[in-house]
Amino acid sequence: MATNIPVLTPVPTPTAIDFETTKEVGYYRLVWRRFRSRRIALVAAITLGLLIFACYILPFALPSECVDLNQTDLGPLSTATTNSAFCPGSHFHLLGTDSDGRDLLLRNLKGGQVSLLVGFTVTILTMLIATTMGALAGFLGGVVDAAISAVTNAVLSIPSILILIIFVKTFNSNGQFGPLEAGFFVVLGISLIFWPTTARIVRSVVLSVREKEFVEAARAVGTSRLRIITRHLLPNALGPIVVSASLTVGAAILTESALSFLGYGINPPTATWGNLLDDGRNKIFDPNGVYFALWPGFLILITVLSFNYIGDALRDAFDPRSLER
């Protein structure tokens, strides 16, 4: 008699869940991934970091800015007189000296300190003004929106360099202020002409967000207007604000350099890239005069290009549609 032997079928092993593939990626981490994928932006950020380090740290390791050529043992260069300039690449001065014997490398680094400080200060002040004005115009609407839009259009319709020259000459007509006060008026003047562009961007974002469901829910529970703006509206405009800020730094440095080049900004003996460029223009026909204008112009070019590349990468990183391109 045959015996039926039951056949044991193997129990299927449950598939292991890969939690790494189901892990949510935060918005700002996704932004960082997109930004990191832009090689040119990373190169620009590294270049900018090295430049800032050189301007603010390296001067402490260099010799004194002003060299007394009559008292210094110059060795083979001892035939130089007080009003002559060393050729670049000498043992004492890598970029040479100006007609007063001041080291050009140190002058350019200290000029970078002032120009970068002006750029970052202008950006902070501009973002504060633009964010406030844009958020109020977009959220309140009505008369407030019309008034702020009218001021914005008025500022944008006048040539910016003309406003700056008039502003600086009005408050510092006789050059009676020192470099700190002159720098304050330059920063204030540039900020007053830079804010409208960012304010328009913030206004457009606030207009598109203020009718969303979460804003209506915040109104329904009695949330104050200030809290709605700061906790619900402005975080949605953070991406455009960051992009605009990165581009504003380069534009502010370029504008300050133009003002100083024209003689309406921060004047010597305080060094900025703009007045160093102007000094190089005055010495362009000297035997080594090309080096006076070469280095500040090159530093302005590298700095502005770095900020522009970073701004372009941030704009793509904050744009949700960039994944489709």
Assess whether pLDDT exceeds 90 at residue 124. Answer: yes
Least trusted range by pLDDT, from 117-121, 217-221, 250-254, 287-291 = 287-291
Cα separation, 238 vs 205, whole angstroms: 10
- Mean pLDDT in residue range 68-86: 38
Cα separation, 2 vs 141, whole angstroms: 92
* Cα radius of gyration (the chain): 29
Assess whether pLDDT exceeds 60 at residue 65. Answer: no
DSSP H helix total and E strand total for the chain:
12, 0
Q: What is the average pLDDT value for the chain, to the nearest integer?
A: 77
Question: DSSP string covering 180-231, please?
Answer: HHHHHHHHHHHHHHHHHHHHHHHHHHHHHHTTSHHHHHHHHTT--HHHHIII
Please give the pLDDT value at position 50: 93
Assess whether pLDDT exceeds 80 at residue 23. Answer: no
Stronger pLDDT, 132 or 37, i.e. the higher one: 132
Assess whether pLDDT exceeds 50 at residue 77. Answer: no
DSSP state of 288: T
Cα separation, 230 vs 220, whole angstroms: 17
Q: Which residues of 25-60 are buried (b: 16+ CB within 10 A; e: fewer)?
A: eeeeeebeebbeebeebeebbebbeebeeebeeebe
Please give the pLDDT value at position 261: 83
Q: What is the pLDDT of residues 157-212, one digit of tens each?
A: 888 788 888 877 777 655 566 667 777 888 888 888 888 988 998 888 888 888 88
Assess whether pLDDT exceeds 80 at residue 114. Answer: yes
- The phi and psi torsions of 97 (rounded to 5 degrees) equal -130, 165
pTM for this entry:
0.77
Q: What is the pLDDT of residues 35-60, one digit of tens each?
A: 888 888 899 999 999 999 988 988 88
Q: How many CB atoms lie within 10 A of CB 150?
A: 10
Assess whether pLDDT exceeds 90 at residue 120. Answer: yes
